[in-house]
Structure 1
Amino acid sequence: MKHARIAWSGAIQQAVESDGQLLITQGPHKGHLVGFDDVVWLPPLTPVSQARTVIALGLNYADHAKELAFKAPEEPLAFMKGEASLIGHKAFTKRPADVKYMHYECELAVVIGRMARHVKKANAYDFIAGYTVANDYAIRDYLENWYRPNLRVKNRDTCTPIGPWLVDAADVPNPMALKLQTTVNGKVTQSGTTADMIFDVPTLIEYFSSFMTLKPGDLILTGTPDGIVDCQPGDVIVTEIEGIGALHNTIVSS
């Protein structure tokens, strides 16, 4: 099932996809059908009572590492992001006026479903609630180290669109065989497959849970393949993952 979180009728609503519309599933409007263009799309993540941990992977596709002239890492290269960087489908991402290079990154995002500590790869899928699409923008002007991007590169408000759907894990039989694609103003600029990850999803869950507790609602952004290009104000970026969804985003000047 495809779940969404939207703002409509003056409130935040939970909904699911139903025959090309959104079906409200909770509250006084439960059962109402709403059009995709009649709502504000929010990150499709149920709020949690404590801060959400957002883990992002760097250089997790060999072709992307080669594109940047780096040796493929021998263990996961990770950095943390704040939840304030997340925005929803069809939202706007600000490009600072003084930067020279800002690029998208189409990524499969894993949503943790239950507390995970010392999880083995063989059991890792049991701890996943579902998957969504993330677009993890990077601003190269501020980059000091590809292996550990600093906060101004990756942790900026509006710079991590996510959505439109949270797809149940049960509806994604093999997350390691999904096609990824990015278009800029309708032109394909990035194409790849999750099969090319250096560290697959079970490996990442085993690795992170070996030294930290993963909690329900936590996110793992699993990296991007090659094919990054500079994005300018006015550009419409669509990051799409097979079976998960197509995430639309527009660049604006800050």
Structure 2
Amino acid sequence: MRFVRYGEAGAEKPGVLDGDGRLRDLSGEVADIAGDVLTALPQVDPATLPEVPGAPRLGPPVGRVGKLIGIGLNYSDHAAEAGLTPPPEPIVFMKATSSIIGPNDPVYLPRGSEKSDWEVELGVVIGRPAKYVTEAEALDHVAGYTIVNDVSERHLQTERKGQWTKGKSCDSFGPIGPWLVTPDETGDPQTLDLVLDLNGKPAQRGNTASMVFSAAFIISYLSQMMTLHPGDVIATGTPPGVGMGMKPPRFLREGDVMSLAISGLGTQRQEVRRDA
């Protein structure tokens, strides 16, 4: 199934798409797609739910995200374009949850930014608490999959002192969605194509088969260090084609448009604006 949250920012309602892609209201079944609801997502025939008229804004498909965890250099071909060898263990960083926006909301360049960049990533949404789980058990703890644009300000990330979190957490740097797609509909998470176009021209092209560490490995690995709770989101890394890897580098400018897609998980579109 494909779950969504729709409506104005901060007041989203739960929804689901029917077989024809029409939006159906799920608020009569659950209050939100968040927390413990993710442990047992509603099993309901979408055709029995009220259809939502018009084309409302889509918010992030998961509410009340507790942790937004990023994995760095997790595609062998992306590491190569950065001139780096794949890491022996996952590189883990946090993105502030205040960076989260809907899949089609504008992305704002922070004041003084000259090196903001794009990163299409497979997002894994936790559905059951995961603590000390094995790799074989890991995917049983997944509520579903989505798209994350791990927008990154490279100057803050790598040229300033400290951790990557600074360059990853600017307001609006975490578009998520449009859908939360359940594992049965997604299929094998290691066979998905990822695409990002910039102003209608190809930028990123990749497949999750090139991940250094699989989604199952990442969940197991993280669960040895921290409990993963329902609603936590893991952004699992990006394929090649980011701006810093171009020759010469090409970073986001006001007026740019990013278009993202992952097989079976829908599409995103963000216009880039300059923050006030």
Question: Scaled by the length of structure 2, what TM-score is found?
Answer: 0.84
1:149 positional shift: 4.3
Aligned to 1:138: 152
Looking at structure 2, the residues matched to 115 and 145 of structure 1 have their Cα atoms a distance apart, in angstroms, of 36
Aligned to 2:6: 6
Aligned to 2:27: 26
Aligned to 2:16: 16
1:71 positional shift: 1.6
Q: 1:118 to 1:191 in 2, by over 3 A?
A: same
Query: 1:127-166 residue pairs with structure 2 within 5 A?
Result: 127-144=141-158, 149-166=163-180
Q: 1:145 to 1:33 in 2, by over 3 A?
A: same
Identity of aligned residues (%): 38
Alignment length, in residue pairs? 247
Aligned to 1:170: 184
SS in 2 for 1:171: helix
Aligned to 1:115: 129
Q: Answer 1 or 2: which has greater strand percent.
A: 1
In the alignment, structure 1 residue 238 sits paired with structure 2 residue 259: yes
Aligned to 2:272: 251
Amino acid at match of 2:150: D
Looking at structure 1, the residues matched to 158 and 196 of structure 2 have their Cα atoms a distance apart, in angstroms, of 26
Looking at structure 1, the residues matched to 122 and 169 of structure 2 have their Cα atoms a distance apart, in angstroms, of 18
1:97 positional shift: 4.4
Q: 1:159 to 1:177 in 2, by over 3 A?
A: same
- Which consecutive unaligned segments of at least 5 residues does structure 1 have? none
- Which consecutive unaligned segments of at least 5 residues does structure 2 have? 30-47, 244-250
Q: 1:211 to 1:145 in 2, by over 3 A?
A: farther
Q: 1:145 to 1:200 in 2, by over 3 A?
A: farther
Amino acid at match of 2:257: V
1:143 positional shift: 2.8
Aligned to 1:44: 61
SS in 1 for 2:74: coil
* Two-structure CA RMSD over aligned residues (Å): 2.0
Aligned to 1:60: 74
Q: 1:100 to 1:176 in 2, by over 3 A?
A: same
1:96 positional shift: 2.6
Query: 1:68-87 residue pairs with structure 2 within 5 A?
Result: 68-87=82-101
In the alignment, structure 1 residue 126 sits paired with structure 2 residue 140: yes
1:145 positional shift: 6.4
Aligned to 1:95: 109
Deviations 1:110-147 (A, max 9, x none): 0001011111111111110000000001111223369x
Question: Scaled by the length of structure 1, what TM-score is found?
Answer: 0.91
Looking at structure 2, the residues matched to 226 and 11 of structure 1 have their Cα atoms a distance apart, in angstroms, of 36
1:188 positional shift: 1.3
Deviations 1:66-113 (A, max 9, x none): 111112100000001221110002101101342222111000000001
Q: Contact between 2:145 and 2:181, CA under 8 Å: does it hold in 1?
A: yes
